[in-house]
Chain A
């Protein structure tokens, strides 16, 4: 058996992509194409494929992202060491009031590096609460909420409540493919959706980022 250039390993948080040391990009791409063509069942639509940031140059990662997207596979570059930690998921009791005061823990540097990955849509009543950053490969629906010590990246539509930098990190931000949340909170600032949406305001078609600028939450389009 020949040495594999690309290895795909299953983890709790999805599949992870590993490259043989010293492999050229062309060889990597060729082998991935081969795998995509062969294993029809393996890569079902919506599968999430993780690659470790830095294992390939940025531009090549981007090409891979394209390749996977064309095949319906979500490609995500994460900084977290594998296996990715996944927050135990539980919807809170429906009657339980939201805990108003989160423990004001200082943000240790290594925590900011960690990332919680959620590979599904968060539905109404579901909550993710973590000290680290959060990546959601799915939507965040109305009535769902994310409270993160770090930043929040949503590969889908965000209609829920998102709180980045919940323990005071003013540099935290929120990114979503479609950013239409009921409320965005960053550190101790709050921005809410307009009470009445103007008639011609469709949901944004470009990814947007919300962050703090000059003491205010601002939202601007970004390139992914």
Chain B
């Protein structure tokens, strides 16, 4: 049975596209047939993270408007033959696809793929509504800072209103030293507010940036901390029980934690 997962966040720039690329690659490495659907029309960059920009022939809009069958628009990854990208258009805007069209397309994709990951645009407007329409479940990406957590909270509320109740959390760009000093929210603070199941804690890692530039998600890099965190998330999506990576703990004296006015 295939699964459609939308990766969303509310706030921009917290790591939706990075997460989509890594989880897609990771699931494909585990033998699943995966397609990544970029719905960030007009600001596409999932293709860049996968190093596939120069191979794009057709895009999502060509497919939803019936100009080509989806198979013609799919781009296969250079190294990972289980991984496909359905890129979007760089010139159209988010009104070019509506929810019904995406639902119909995803129904077709279900026949062929084990996992369909949808990279959602930031915000809660039309593009978001379209991206979530077909999803069986959602991964909300946030960062350990107040504004990102608040936006995640709002998105969880919006997902609930759209009857999407299966929601998991990924906290990205954790900086253990800052958490330790009390300058960054820790997992307790975040769970307190969001109270949904967390399936990933991804550290801030330079290798995310270097791997992005090389067009290869960091999950393929043995030594990357973020890569390890993403491998763990993939395992959890596949139903494995994997303990969370331990970051340095708060010292005894800094236990008197600051109260964030969340």
Which residues of chain A have a CB within 8 Å of any CB of chain B?
Answer: 89-91, 94, 120-126, 139, 141-143, 157, 159, 182, 193, 197-203
Interface set of B (CB-CB < 8 Å, partner A): 124, 150-151, 153-154, 156-158, 160-161, 192-193, 195, 256-262
Chain B at the A interface: SS class: helix
Please name the residue on chain B nearest to A182 by beta carbon: B261
Q: Contact partner of B154 among A143, A197, A199, A203, CB < 8 A?
A: A143
18 A-B contacts (beta carbon < 8 Å): A90-B161, A91-B157, A94-B124, A120-B160, A122-B157, A123-B160, A124-B150, A125-B154, A142-B193, A142-B262, A143-B150, A143-B153, A159-B262, A182-B261, A197-B260, A202-B257, A202-B259, A203-B259
**Known contacts A91-B158, A143-B154; is A200 also within 8 Å of B256 by CB?**
yes
Taking a contact as CB atoms under 8 Å apart, the answer to whether A197 and B153 are in contact is no
Per the bound structure, the CA–CA distance linking A222 and B150 in Å amounts to 30
Q: Out of B124, B153, B161, B257, name the residue touching A141 (CB < 8 Å).
A: B153
A contact residues around B260 at 8 Å (CB): 197
Closest chain A residue, CB of each to CB of B151: A124
A123 and B156 contact, Cβ closer than 8 Å, known pairs A91-B161, A159-B193: yes
Contact of A123 among B124, B157, B261, B262 (CB under 8 A): B157
Q: State the CA gap A126–B156 with chains docked (Å).
A: 11
- Is there contact, CB below 8 Å, between A124 and B258? no
* Candidate in A121, A198, A199, A201 with the most chain B CB atoms within 10 angstroms: A121
Instruction: State whether B259 touches A124 (Cβ < 8 A).
Output: no
Chain B residues near A125: list those with CB within 8 A.
154, 157-158
A199→B261 contact, CB < 8 A? no
Point out the residue from A124, A198, A199, A200 that lies within 8 Å of B157, measured CB to CB: A124
